[in-house]
């Protein structure tokens, strides 16, 4: 529960797989950073102050020098690391503001959940109407992998998926499962590996068992060449220790190794995540009125390290508390992020969509 008792609302029967908004120092720098095309592509000629994220060395890791197959659909060039996300490219005149509606990406949804069985198509139509043009479908246990792949094949222009093993299901881990994950990662529908992680809040799997399995899952993810989607609840210190061991000293293929989904902590944790090579996923709890600590964490990460997500059907934003969440909620989340950074909704859409495009390889946005 976040400070002040403003806890997320969940549907009846929910087993606690979502994330409570966490704690942290809300006094933080507004770290800007990296992107090339954001506002020049979508939101005009705003030029903002450039800031630099400090990088700190981490010790060599378990994946030292290992480079799994990098698929052609994920090979791309990356922007200069210290460019303001809203500054046009050097040597070019800024383009005039485009007369288009903001385009958003929902980087984390569970649309194959049974709660969408009756109206999944309608929910996707509502998302399109809200400007959500791409969705990353998360299949977080093996029984969901085929369903997610089938849904992506039905809607190849809108959906890609991520295949993983949630902490609730790590008792199902085996070497055969890891090998199957690596094989399936070659499919064109798959854009990421995960979600994987640690959950010390309500998860029935003992923490020590979770800690044993996570490095093996990250090893498998490293062999895929795909970005990783991480889950963390009440376990940031242990998660960061594992990430240092696995990724320390290994450069990301792009700007990031992956994303820390549903970020729920504060400034110190956000800065550590970014230094370790991870973006943060921001969802409904950022809209909760009393969740200043989380907003401080988002500010500390910097806009260039933020992607938007809903975690549908979980974690609805403030206007939908107590209801099933949907991808159409992304603009409300973006509006809260705009308030954190003092930007317009169009600017937030431009930067976070570019971040998602670079991280997950979404094309044609």
Helix/strand/coil (H/E/C) assignment for every residue in the chain:
CCCCCCCCCCCCCCCCCCCCCCCCCCCCCCCCCCCCCHHHHHCCCCCCCCCCCCCCCCCCCCCCCCCCCCCHHHCCCCCCCCCCCCCCCCCCCCCCCCCCCCCEEEEEECCCCHHHCCCHHHHHHHHHHCCEEEEEEEECCHHHHHHHHHHHHHCCCCEEEEECCCHHHHHHCCHHHHHHHHHHCCCCCEEEEEEEEEECCCCCCCHHHHHHHHHHHHHHHHHHCCCEEEEEECCHHHHHHHHHHHHCCCCCCCCCCEEECCCCCCHHHHHHHHHCCEEEEECHHHHCCCCHHHHHHHHHHCHHHEEECCCECCCCCHHHCCCCCCHHHHHHHHHHHHHHHCCCHHHHHHHHHHHHHHHHCCCCC
Of 81, 23, 10, 61, nearest to 323 by C-alpha is: 10
> Looking at residue 364, what is its pLDDT?
72
> Looking at residue 28, what is its pLDDT?
37
pLDDT (tens digit, 9 = 90+) per residue, 275-302? 999 999 999 999 999 999 999 999 999 9
Asked if residue 137 lies in contact with residue 110, where contact means CB atoms within 8 angstroms, the answer is: yes
How many C-beta neighbours within 10 Å does residue 78 have?
14
> Looking at residue 250, what is its pLDDT?
76
pLDDT < 70 regions, the chain:
1-100, 365
Domains of the chain plus CATH, in order, are 38-46+79-89+99-360 (3.20.20.140)
pLDDT (tens digit, 9 = 90+) per residue, 216-225? 999 999 999 9
Q: Which two tokens stand for residue 94?
A: 């800024």
Asked if the peptide bond before residue 313 counts as cis, ω within 30 degrees of 0, the response is yes
Pairing of β 228-233 and β 306-308: unpaired
């Amino acid at each position: 529960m976040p400070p002040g008792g403003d806890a997320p609302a969940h549907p009846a029967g929910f087993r606690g797989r979502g994330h409570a908004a966490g704690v942290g120092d809300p006094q933080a720098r507004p770290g800007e950073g990296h992107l090339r095309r954001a506002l020049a592509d979508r939101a005009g000629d705003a030029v903002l102050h450039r800031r630099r994220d400090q990088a700190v060395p981490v010790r060599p890791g378990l994946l030292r020098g290992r480079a799994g197959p990098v698929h052609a659909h994920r090979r791309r060039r990356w922007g200069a690391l210290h460019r303001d996300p809203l500054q046009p490219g050097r040597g070019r005149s800024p383009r005039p503001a485009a007369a288009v509606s903001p385009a958003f990406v929902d980087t984390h949804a569970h649309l194959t959940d049974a709660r969408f069985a009756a109206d999944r198509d309608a929910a996707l139509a509502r998302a399109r109407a809200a400007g959500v043009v791409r969705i990353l479908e998360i299949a977080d246990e093996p029984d969901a992998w085929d369903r997610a792949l089938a849904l992506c094949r039905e809607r190849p222009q809108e959906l890609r998926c991520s295949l993983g093993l949630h902490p609730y299901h790590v008792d199902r881990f085996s070497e055969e499962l890891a090998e199957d994950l690596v094989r399936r990662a070659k499919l064109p529908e798959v854009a990421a590996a995960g979600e994987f992680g640690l959950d010390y809040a309500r998860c029935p799997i003992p923490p020590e068992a979770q800690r044993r399995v996570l490095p093996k899952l990250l090893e498998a993810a490293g062999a895929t060449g795909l970005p990783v989607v991480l889950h963390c609840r009440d376990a940031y210190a242990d998660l960061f220790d594992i990430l240092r061991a696995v990724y320390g000293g290994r450069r990301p293929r792009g700007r990031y190794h992956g994303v820390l989904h549903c970020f729920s902590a504060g400034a110190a944790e956000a800065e550590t995540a970014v230094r370790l090579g991870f973006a943060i996923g921001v969802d409904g709890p950022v809209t909760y009125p009393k969740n200043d600590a989380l907003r401080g964490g988002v500010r500390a990460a910097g806009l260039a390290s933020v992607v938007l997500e809903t975690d549908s059907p979980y974690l609805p934003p403030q206007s939908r508390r107590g209801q099933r969440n949907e991808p159409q909620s992304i603009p409300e989340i973006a509006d809260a992020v705009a308030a954190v950074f003092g930007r317009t909704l169009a600017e937030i859409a431009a930067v976070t969509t570019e971040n998602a495009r670079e991280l997950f390889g979404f094309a044609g946005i």
